[in-house]
């Protein structure tokens, strides 16, 4: 039976052991101080939350253009729809949205390629050197953009409403996304005849290129008779082609007169 030590006896025994040089208390069981400590249990790795990719709805610029164009019930609404259309990068570098010029009551609608530097500055189509030549060409058959008589008036626009950088050629995707606006433009003006100036307008509305082969022959575009013609800019570079351009103007005049 173990003896019960009172406080004072236990204290005296501890002091005696300290006087003998004891520095540590001895445990009931021996301790191997050379044994490596047992490894701590590894914590279960915390899996970082993997961010799920956000699915962004793909926007089809052509579908957006078709919807916006179809909703335009007037030329003013169509212009506003074009100015609000942000999918064509040409808009970011252009100074102006070049919509149209001339009388909307005109029997003849002239469709060019895209604005140049002069057109971008003034916000009107065909106002540079090529535009001045175009005005002289139609004046030769007694027609003008500022005529108030529908029989003598012409209405002018382009496939693209914004100037391409350095006047480069329009890209196919640019033409594709702006074409619904052009087609709606034609519907709202409802001319009797279209004049397609140059290769790019022919490619957009006829699906064909090769203006030297196409010019001088009636075609059909947007359900209307269409006359492909040399672009005035081409005539400035190739004056000898003005003879063919005059022939095409006479064909247009005859068509308007019912010939």
pLDDT single digits (tens) 103-126: 999 999 999 999 999 999 999 999
φ/ψ of residue 101, rounded to 5: -155, 155
Q: Which long-range contacts (CB under 8 A, 24 or more apart) does 62-65 make?
A: 62/176, 62/177, 62/179, 62/180, 64/177, 65/177, 65/178, 65/179, 65/180, 65/181
Q: In whole angstroms, what is the distance from residue 6 CA to residue 83 CA?
A: 101
Tokens for 212, please give them: 């030297």
Query: What would the pLDDT profile of 57-108 be if each residue is shown by its tens digit?
Result: 688 999 999 999 999 999 999 999 999 999 999 999 999 999 999 999 999 9
Query: What would the pLDDT profile of 181-215 be if each residue is shown by its tens digit?
Result: 999 999 999 999 999 999 999 999 999 999 999 99
Secondary element (H or E) of residue 170: none
φ/ψ of residue 196, rounded to 5: -100, 110
Query: What would the pLDDT profile of 139-190 be if each residue is shown by its tens digit?
Result: 999 999 999 999 999 999 999 999 999 999 999 999 999 999 999 999 999 9
State the pTM of this model: 0.77
| Per-residue model confidence (pLDDT) at position 184 | 98
| Per-residue model confidence (pLDDT) at position 41 | 67
Contacts of 124 (CB under 8 A, 6+ apart): 98, 101
Q: Are 181 and 188 in contact (CB under 8 A)?
A: no
| Per-residue model confidence (pLDDT) at position 203 | 97
Residue-range domains of the chain with CATH = 61-256 (3.40.470.10)
Burial 101-127 (b: 16+ CB within 10 A, else e): bbbbebbbbbbbbbbbebbbebbbbbb
pLDDT over 90, % of the chain: 76
DSSP H helices in the chain: 7-19, 61-71, 75-84, 90-93, 117-122, 129-139, 172-189, 199-206, 211-214, 232-237, 242-256
């Amino acid at each position: 039976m173990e003896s019960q030590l009172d406080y004072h006896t236990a204290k005296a025994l501890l002091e005696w052991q300290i006087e003998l040089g004891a520095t540590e208390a001895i445990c009931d069981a021996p301790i191997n101080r050379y044994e490596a400590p047992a490894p701590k249990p590894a914590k279960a790795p915390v899996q970082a939350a993997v961010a799920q990719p956000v699915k962004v709805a793909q926007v089809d610029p052509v579908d957006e253009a078709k919807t916006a164009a179809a909703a335009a019930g007037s030329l003013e609404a169509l212009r506003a729809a074009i100015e609000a259309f942000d999918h064509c990068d040409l808009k970011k570098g252009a100074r102006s949205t070049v919509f149209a010029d001339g009388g909307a009551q005109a029997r003849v609608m002239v469709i060019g390629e895209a604005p140049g530097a002069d057109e971008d500055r003034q916000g009107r189509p065909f106002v540079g050197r090529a535009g001045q030549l175009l005005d002289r060409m139609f004046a030769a058959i007694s027609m003008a953009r500022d005529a108030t008589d529908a029989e003598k008036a012409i209405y002018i626009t382009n496939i693209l409403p914004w100037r391409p950088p350095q006047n480069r050629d329009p890209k196919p995707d640019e033409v594709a996304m702006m074409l619904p606006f052009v087609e709606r433009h034609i519907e709202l003006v409802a001319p009797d005849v279209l004049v397609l100036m140059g290769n790019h307008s022919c490619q957009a509305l006829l699906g064909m290129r090769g203006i030297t082969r196409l010019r001088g022959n009636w075609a059909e575009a947007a359900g209307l008779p269409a006359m492909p013609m040399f672009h005035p800019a081409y005539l400035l570079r190739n004056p000898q082609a003005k003879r063919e351009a005059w022939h095409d103007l006479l064909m247009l005049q005859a068509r308007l007169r019912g010939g």
